[in-house]
């Protein structure tokens, strides 16, 4: 019975971790989009390190 509980707890932990990673991914996309927009306004280059 304890193995079933551990398995359920493990599943819930993994589920929460995946949800957190999805949220982090969305925030990173928003950050990158915002950074690209502001970089385009400041200069003609979107990535100055490439020149």
pTM of the predicted model over 0.95: no
Find the radius of gyration of the CA atoms of the chain.
Answer: 20
What is the DSSP code (8-state) at residue 51? -
Tell me the average pLDDT across 29-51. Answer: 76
Task: Answer whether residue 44 shows pLDDT above 90.
Answer: no
Tell me the C-alpha distance between 36 and 8, whole Å: 42
- Over the stretch 1-37, which tens digit does the pLDDT of each residue have? 667 777 999 999 999 999 999 999 999 999 999 999 8
- pLDDT for position 30: 97
HSE of 25, CA atoms in CB hemisphere, 13 A: 6
pLDDT value at residue 47: 59
């Amino acid at each position: 019975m304890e193995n079933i509980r551990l398995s359920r707890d493990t599943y819930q932990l993994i589920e929460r971790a995946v949800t957190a990673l999805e949220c982090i991914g969305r925030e990173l996309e928003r950050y990158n989009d915002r950074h690209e927009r502001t970089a385009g306004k400041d200069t003609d280059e979107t990535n100055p390190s490439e020149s």
